[in-house]
Amino acid sequence: MTRDPGQIDHHCMKLQGYNVNAVTIDHVTPLHEACLGDHVACARTLLEAGANANAITIDGVTPLFNACSQGSASCAELLLEYGAKAQLESCFPSPTHEAASKGHHECLDILIAWGIDVDQDIPHLGTPLYVACMSQQFHCVWKLLYAGADVHKGKYWDTPLHAAAQQPSTEVLNLLLEFGADIHAKNTELLRPVDLATSNSAVERVLLQHEELLQALFANCADSASATT
């Protein structure tokens, strides 16, 4: 159950005597709705009046999750300044994973600046890097890797490279390889990333070429070692 955005704006203008933490049957607060609609001024007014920045709906959704879902970096920053937790336990919907999967890199930037664990692993989703690769969100992948995300951590035994190999674009794939992704890594079905790539696709060609390059480098190293003994 949601409120009309116009109704929310009206409440923000007339808060005297109004419970800013009033909830619907689903425990949705006015702050949840303000952040979902990217109503920054309204969110600020609610927070200044004492709205709970960490309010949780019956589905475990926080105002910060809504802000990151909508790509509202301004609302996200505001919530964090008012004490919103940047990261919750893995059983709750994750703002970081939401931002990464939808390509909201500005929200991701803010969360990283507030010290999130960039490798947070949620069982049914994997790591933020994994979901960003599944969604082919290049800028989010780039930001996570430069923030120190482990290029090998994905979902169970599937690595981010396994995720990227299943997509049509080579852009994310090449970025992962630049950061040292293991082309020989096997998932629970003992499949390598190249085994998941579409046959005769650009992605498969990139992976095969990278494998050939590594084999050539190893061969050269072996030849050099034997020549010096």
Yes or no: say if 177 and 209 are a contact pair by the CB < 8 Å rule: no
Which tens digits make up the pLDDT trace of 129-163?
Answer: 999 999 999 999 999 999 999 999 999 999 999 99
Task: List, in order, residues 6 or more apart from 21 with CB less than 8 Å away.
Answer: 29, 50, 51, 52, 55
Any idea what DSSP says for residue 11? H
Residue that the structure tokens 């336990």 belong to:
89
Per-residue confidence (pLDDT) for residue 6, from 0 to 100 = 47
Which tens digits make up the pLDDT trace of 13-35?
Answer: 455 567 899 989 999 999 999 99
Of 214 and 62, the one with more pLDDT: 62
**Calpha distance 215→123 (Å, rounded):** 34
Per-residue confidence (pLDDT) for residue 105, from 0 to 100 = 97
Yes or no: say if 90 and 128 are a contact pair by the CB < 8 Å rule: no
Yes or no: say if 134 and 168 are a contact pair by the CB < 8 Å rule: no
pLDDT above 70: residue 103: yes
Which tens digits make up the pLDDT trace of 157-197?
Answer: 999 999 999 999 999 999 999 999 999 999 999 999 999 99
**Calpha distance 66→64 (Å, rounded):** 5
How many Cα atoms sit within 13 Å of 88 on the Cβ side? 20
Structural domains for the chain: 1-85 (1.25.40.20), 94-229 (1.25.40.20)
Percent of the chain clearing pLDDT 70 (strictly above): 86
